[in-house]
Amino acid sequence: MKTIKKAIIPAAGLGTRFLPATKAMPKEMLPIVDKPTIQYIVDEAIASGIEDILIVTGKGKRSIEDHFDNNFELERNLMDKGKFELLEKVKEPSEVDIHYIRQKEPKGLGHAVWCARKFIGDEPFAVLLGDDIVQADKPALKQLIEQYEETERSVVGVQKVPENETSRYGIVDPCTIEGRRYQVSHFVEKPAPGTAPSNLAIMGRYIFTPEIFTFLDKQEIGAGGEIQLTDAIQELNETERVYAYDFEGKRYDVGEKLGFIRTNLEFALQNEEIGEEVERVVRDLLMEKERAKL
Ligand code: G1P
C-alpha cells in the first residue's frame, strides 16, 4: 500500500469576506493570536506525517512564501538579542518541503486541486482547507490517514452542523455506518436550504486516491459558477467507494468574520502568556456594556 506523504493546501481564494483587510494581504496570513491561519494547517499536516506540501496560490499571495522561508536578517537580529524562544518560532519548518504553484484563474476548489495533478502523480494524497482549524488529541488529518490505511479508499472528513447551516457546506447522504465511518450514497455541494439529505458536513480535510483526477479532468462548472471538488467526489464514489469519517476534535471556522473573532478569542483565552489577562478584559468589557444599559 502506498502511504500518504503529500498534501495540497488550496490558498488561491480572494478572501472577499474579509475585505478591506485582504485587499493587499492574503486571508491565509490573518493571525489567530500570533500565528497566521495557514501555519495552523501546515502544523497539522506535519503532525500527521506529511513530508511534502503543495500550496496552490494566486495573485497577491507572495507573503505566504515569505512566511515559510528563512529570514536571515530577522534571525540574526533575534540571535544577537538573545531572543531564542522567538527565534524558534520564526524558523521555517524543517520537517516538510513546501512547494508552490499558481492557480492562474479563480475557477474554484476543484480546479485548484486539479492544478496539483503533476505534483501528486500516481499516489494517494491529502487536501487541507485553510478555513477550518481543528484542535484534537490526534490531528484530524492523521485520523483520516488511518482510515485510508484500513480501507485503501478516499476518505472525506465530516462533522455534524446545525440544520440551518447545511447550505454553506458540502453535505453527505450516508447509507451505512461503521463506528464513526460512513458509506455514502451521495455527496452534494451546498444544497438549497431545507433540501440537505443530512447534517453531516464536509469539513476541509480529505484523503484521495489519484483516481480523483480522472473526474477533475473533465469536471464542469457546478454550484456558485465554480468547478466543485464535491462534484468530482460524487462521481468518484460511483466507481470507487469514498468514505466519510466523522473525525474527533473541535473545529473552528476561520473563514468568516464571526467564526474568526470567536476563534481568536478562544485561542487567546487558552494562551499561556496572555490568557488570564484576556479573560479579565472580556469580563471588563461585558461589565462596561451592562453598566451602559443602566
Ligand atoms: C468548501 C467546500 C465544501 C466544504 C467547505 C468546508 O466550500 O466546497 O464542500 O464543506 O469548504 O469549509 P467553501 O467554504 O470554500 O465555499
pLDDT tens per residue across span 195-218? 999 999 999 999 999 999 999 998
pLDDT tens string 179-189: 999 999 999 99
Percent of residues in the chain assigned helix, strand, coil, to nearest 5: 40, 25, 35
How far is the centre of ligand 1, averaged over its atoms, from the C-alpha of 254 (Å)?
A: 12
pLDDT at 65: 94
Residue 123 has pLDDT above 90, yes or no: yes
Residue 93 has pLDDT above 90, yes or no: no
Say yes or no: 168 and 72 in one domain: yes
| Block residue for cell numbers 499558481 | 102
Identity at 251, one-letter amino acid code: R
Q: Which three cell numbers stand for residue 182?
A: 460512513
- Backbone dihedral angles phi then psi of residue 122, each to the nearest 5 degrees: -105, 50
Please check the confidence at residue 72 and state whether its pLDDT lies above 90. no
Q: Round to whole Å and give the CA distance between 166 and 202.
A: 10
What pLDDT, in 10s, does the model give residues 39-65?
A: 999 999 999 999 999 999 998 899 999
Q: Does residue 204 sit in the same domain as residue 283?
A: no
The helix (run of H) or strand (run of E) holding residue 201 is strand 200-208
Q: What is the DSSP letter of 197?
A: S
Same domain for 278 and 189, yes or no, is no
**pLDDT single digits (tens) 231-251:** 999 999 999 999 999 999 999
In the DSSP assignment, the letter for residue 219 is: P
Residues 192 and 260 in one domain: no
Residues 185 and 286 in one domain: no
Q: Kindly state whether residues 60 and 192 are assigned to the same domain.
A: yes
pLDDT of residue 84: 83
The verdict on 147 and 285 lying in the same domain is no
Interatomic CA distance for residues 55 and 98, integer angstroms: 7
Residue 1 maps to a domain? no
For residue range 157-170, list pLDDT tens digits in order: 999 999 999 999 99
- Same domain for 279 and 183: no
Q: In the prediction, which pLDDT does 126 show?
A: 98
Q: What are the angstrom distances between the C-alpha of 259 and each of 48, 209, 246, 256, 272?
A: 25, 32, 21, 6, 22
Within 10 angstroms of residue 128's Cβ, the number of other Cβ atoms is 26
Please report the atom of ligand 1 found closest to the CA of residue 109: 8
Average pLDDT value over all residues in the chain: 94
Best of 111, 129, 203, 257 for a ligand 1 pocket test (most atoms within 8 Å of beta carbon): 129
Q: Report the residue among 128, 168, 216, 228 best suited for mutation to probe ligand 1: largest number of ligand atoms under 8 A from its CB.
A: 168
130 domain residue, yes or no: yes
Cell numbers for 194, please give them: 431545507
Q: Specify whether 290 is located in the same domain as 154.
A: no
Residue nearest to atom 9 of ligand 1 (CA): 170
For residue 204, give the ligand 1 atom closest to its CA: 6
Q: How many domains does the chain have?
A: 2
| pLDDT number for residue 88 | 82
Q: Are residues 96 and 222 in the same domain?
A: yes
The CATH number assigned to the domain holding 17 equals: 3.90.550.10
Q: How far, in Å, from the CA of 214 to the mean position of ligand 1?
A: 21
Q: Please check whether residue 69 lies inside any domain of the structure.
A: yes
**Domain containing residue 47:** 6-255
